[in-house]
Structure 1
């Protein structure tokens, strides 16, 4: 219960990595607010103090979420930026239109920037806080995802490092987590679509995707709970002297340091 009394906001917390992070922080004693565009079909779990429906790709959505979070918690100690993604499909750079680029930047870069602008000063004023930006190994392996998404995650990485330097003196730590191929429900849908298109089973589709990444030395996909465990460490007092750092959790996918 090392996070007892801590107040946390986790974006994109209704499925996949975000859902696992919400569960892990709540299990450690944190009071957790989370958000997505719509409430989960199965209802909001009891361990979530408040769910806020918001479109974080807009300035209005980010503002509404920040206000609702402070109203619910009375302050903030932990901010995990997990929301992200893209509707674009892989292709050459010329295949991506204005909508693809604007959408990728709005959700993967500007949403964290806007929320940080509203909530990090609250942490700085109290002299403590922990921020985690969930980026992606796509920022290092841009061919592994649609280009607008990869570029937005690379920009988020750069921004996060700069923010860490600016907030360290006020007691706010900012770190980055780069997941590799994590087997979320979304990843399973991708595998099933690939399997249907090629006439193979899910295991075959999983192997094809792993091979497309250059292989995963550990021989398997990652689990959302494993990413959540890393994030729980980074927002805890065990990581009190860690800021501006990047943690890759990809089973060894990225071939260089």
Structure 2
């Protein structure tokens, strides 16, 4: 899938994408770089294709030390950032419902899906405030509205907190010239998702189409009949980060193919 791109739209803009070496994060980094931005990505693992990252910062953002490393590096290399995309997130909670989620698992889910963004914002936003401009985009999830109790309730709770935090932050930063929005994707067809489809197909003795449908059924259905592509998430993020969205602030945009069944 390809879109017409203004190769100068983000010229002169300094960008940091967390969780930017795989999936939607890598697609976001590529899209903004293609439009002229100077892009840094951070993750624990390097990008598969080094060409996808202008500057790669290896760090574990679940820790204060990892956040400090990233903030220091972009400050030294770029002099700060103009666009900050918090794509980092995920869940490692096992099945078994609420009783299976230990304090350690709750802490890990909150550190990964909420506190990494909170700490990095605290480190980098003062420079945006000083220059009276900047864009912050938090990648949340539709699970904040449709939590799956069997295995991802801690993830869903952390993403709900992220959205609430993002909204509160927008109230504070808007008068200071910094825009804040959030994006709530549904199922995204990443490499990890493809691997999950293959596992389900193998374990269930069905083809990948049936396995993919079983995941959509578990979500209550996806009316457009497929998960989103990483490039589609990146296109929404690019719009929200651009001057085309200059009046969009404090809002969350759902991109889920119609999965959420309510207004």
TM-score where L is the length of structure 1: 0.97
TM-score where L is the length of structure 2: 0.94
Aligned pair partner of 2:204 in 198, 202, 214: 198
Bigger shift: residues 86-95 or 6-15: 86-95
The alignment yields a C-alpha RMSD, in angstroms, of 1.1
Q: Does 1:139 align with 2:144?
A: yes
* 1:214 alignment counterpart: 220
- Provide Cα deviations, 1:48-92, integer angstroms capped at 9, x if missing partner: 321000000001001110110111111210000001101123331
Preserved contact between residue 94 and residue 100 of structure 2 (Cα < 8 Å): no
Alignment length, in residue pairs?
Answer: 255
Q: Secondary structure at the match of 2:50?
A: coil
- Provide Cα deviations, 1:79-114, integer angstroms capped at 9, x if missing partner: 000011011233311111122111100010000000
Aligned equivalents of 1:159, 1:119: Cα separation in 2 = 16
* 2:257 alignment counterpart: 251
Aligned equivalents of 1:105, 1:119: Cα separation in 2 = 20
Consecutive unaligned residues of structure 1, counting only runs of 5 or more, are: none
Aligned equivalents of 2:160, 2:95: Cα separation in 1 = 17
* 2:19 alignment counterpart: 12
Q: Does 1:65 align with 2:70?
A: yes
Aligned equivalents of 1:95, 1:116: Cα separation in 2 = 31
* 2:5 alignment counterpart: none
Consecutive unaligned residues of structure 2, counting only runs of 5 or more, are: 1-7
Aligned equivalents of 1:149, 1:70: Cα separation in 2 = 30
Aligned equivalents of 1:96, 1:195: Cα separation in 2 = 27
Preserved contact between residue 31 and residue 48 of structure 1 (Cα < 8 Å): no
Q: Does 1:129 align with 2:134?
A: yes
* 2:32 alignment counterpart: 25
Aligned equivalents of 1:90, 1:195: Cα separation in 2 = 19
Q: Does 1:80 align with 2:85?
A: yes
Instruction: Please report how far the alpha carbon of residue 10 of structure 1 lies from its aligned counterpart in structure 2 after TM superposition.
Output: 0.2
Instruction: Please report how far the alpha carbon of residue 124 of structure 1 lies from its aligned counterpart in structure 2 after TM superposition.
Output: 0.7
Aligned equivalents of 1:93, 1:249: Cα separation in 2 = 27
Aligned pair partner of 2:106 in 96, 101, 110: 101
Bigger shift: residues 222-231 or 188-197: 188-197
* 1:38 alignment counterpart: 45
Aligned equivalents of 1:85, 1:113: Cα separation in 2 = 16
Preserved contact between residue 91 and residue 146 of structure 1 (Cα < 8 Å): no
Aligned equivalents of 1:241, 1:12: Cα separation in 2 = 27
- Report 1:173-184 matches (<5 A): 173-184=179-190
